[in-house]
Structure 1
Amino acid sequence: MSNSTESSIPSLSQQRRSARELNRLAKRQAVLSTAAQMFNERGFHATSLDDVAARLGVSKPTLYYYVKSKDQILLECVQQGLEMTLEGIEVSRRAGGSALDQLEACMRVYARIVTMDFGMCLIRVGDEQLPPDSRKALRRMKAQIDLAFRRLVEAGVQQGLLAPCDPKMVAFMIGGALSWIGRWYDRGGAYDPDEIAD
């Protein structure tokens, strides 16, 4: 075997380190997911780190190995919800079709995400609990979602697929209607997210 081939094979210690890091990331994600569920169920202020630790069956000091504070957990939960939404919208837009096809696909994506734990956390808890710098960063991401809807509405009007309108107001209406799903949605209800979006 050549030296270049041998150097590309990770050593046993590198493999172990990599496995440990993957394990740590999975456990950290479990902390965030559990916290998002609890914030959605009880509210941010009514959920303590002790509550999250108890649900996970770990000690509170163990949580601090994965996260620094409850504020950091909220920031990361909301950020994951926003990132999922932006990625879903981008994938829907890249799939092509008319502006109306893309708008409908983006609406379905948004409806799906606000019924998931991180998306629901984004809607139910919001960013008002966060420090000003974090709040500003998240609001910039939210503005990207609004802008994506606005551009699709504008394109729909230009293509003659939507009636002439104020794209900004229509985007606000769409975003508001879809966001509200995250407040009342019940997984045991009669409709799934796609049916609601339709």
Structure 2
Amino acid sequence: MSQKRPASATLPAAPLVSPWVPASAREQQREAKRNAVLSTAAQLFNERGFHATSLDDIAARLNVSKPTLYYYVKNKDEILFECVRKGLQMLREGIAEVSITGGKAIDQLMACMRVYSRIVTMDFGMCLIRVSDDELPPESRKALRRLKSDLDLEFRRLVAQGIAEGSLQPCDPKIAAFMIAGALSWIGRCYQADGEYSPEEIATQCIAMLRDGILRRPDSPAVSEVVADL
């Protein structure tokens, strides 16, 4: 007569837990590390300039070897292109969100100016302003300038609509758009994180002066009074 096996002997073995993460998780990890490379590069470009920053500098700040960087980027040109593209994309997305909310052109224009002012004090936005795309190959410059053109056209559209609705003085929308973007871009060149003013204070003062000019009108508050209301 045969003996029965213990019940435990008939149980299937527990499946092994794979030490490898799923492909989707690996891709997320790679993208996170690539973004870290780009963010660090943008910080260094803003601090030292494009030419004075090497891949060795970027690797050192990330505590990795230089060859490790090549798993995430091809070269320094690609890093600059992606940093500037990200800055432009942030501006486009921020301005697109303003457009979705609708409202009067003047209100949209003021909101877009606040978006622009805020983003050019951030790493990628600052890199967009401080590092010239002249450093890049022609095809890369062309792609970035198409994105810049979209932003310029949006400002022109809002200025033209503001004139039509009577909230803005008659002017050339093209010149006005250049002046607005140029003035706000200087925030990105001059801003210091440890400086006297916060990004919000700088934006408030710059936008107030662009909106009202520098001549004091009897019925308008001084810029200092506007800032005090923050």
Q: Does TM-score exceed 0.5, indicating one fold?
A: yes
Q: How many residues were matched structurally? A: 187
Partner of 1:32: 38
Identity across matched positions, percent: 69
1:121 maps to: 127
Identify the match of residue 73 of structure 1 among 44, 69, 79: 79
Q: Distance in 1 between matches of 2:105 and 2:92?
A: 17
Point out where structure 2 has 5 or more consecutive residues left out of the alignment: 1-17, 205-230
Equivalent of 2:112 in 99, 102, 106: 106
Q: Where do residues 56-95 of structure 1 align in structure 2 (5 Å cutoff)?
A: 56-95=62-101
Which residue among 144, 160, 168 is the counterpart of 2:150? 144
- In the TM superposition, 1:159-198 aligns within 5 A as 159-198=165-204
Partner Cα distance (2:92, 2:38) in 1: 19
Amino acid at match of 2:132: G
Name the SS of the counterpart of 1:161 in structure 2.
Answer: coil
For 1:191, give the aligned amino acid: Y
- Read off the aligned partner of 1:74 and give its amino acid letter: L
Alpha-carbon spacing, 1:14–1:171, altered in 2? closer, same or farther (3 Å): farther
CA deviation after TM superposition for structure 1 residue 190, in Å: 3.1
Q: Which has the higher helix share?
A: 1
Structure 1: distance between partners of 2:188 and 2:136:
20
| Structure 1 residues 10-21: aligned runs within 5 Å | 16-21=22-27
The range that moved more, 53-62 or 91-100, is 91-100
Superposition TM-score, scaled by structure 2 size: 0.79
Counterpart code for 1:86: R
Q: For the residues of structure 2 that align with 1:167 and 1:194, how far apart are their CA atoms?
A: 26
Shift of 1:13: 10
- Residue type of the alignment partner of 2:44: M
In the alignment, is residue 130 of structure 1 matched against residue 145 of structure 2? no
Q: Which has the larger radius of gyration?
A: 2
Residue type matched to 1:187 in 2?
A
| Aligned residues of 1:78 and 1:126 also touching (Cα < 8 A) | no
- With a CA cutoff of 8 Å and minimum separation of 6, indicate the structure with the bigger relative contact order: 1
Shift of 1:68: 0.4
Asked whether the equivalents of residues 85 and 109 of structure 1 are also in contact (C-alpha less than 8 Å), the reply is yes
Q: Secondary structure at the match of 2:133?
A: coil
Separation (CA, whole Å) in 2 of partners of 1:169 and 1:195: 26
